[in-house]
Amino acid sequence: MDYVSALLPPVVMAVLFISVIRVIVKTQGGTNKAKEDAAVDAALKRTEAAREG
């Protein structure tokens, strides 16, 4: 049973890592991309306006 306790943490970490990557890939593009781009553009405009003002 030592092999189970030795292999369990890496397997769990691999599953979590793969699921995080899948979420990141799925949330790229589509309707979210336009909202995220607009939010970034608005933040950049606020930053530039604060520097100028």
Return the pLDDT at 16: 97
Q: Closest by alpha carbon to 27, among 36, 39, 38? A: 36
Containing structural domain, residue 6:
2-52
Which H, E and C letters describe 5-36, residue by residue?
A: HHHHHHHHHHHHHHHHHHHHHHCCCHHHHHHH
The phi and psi torsions of 43 (rounded to 5 degrees) equal -65, -40
Give the pLDDT means over successive 10-residue stretches in the chain (53 positions).
Answer: 91 96 85 84 92 78
Can you give the pLDDT at residue 15? 96
Nearest to 44 by CA among 36, 29, 30, 24: 36
**pLDDT value of position 46:** 92
What domain count does the chain have?
1
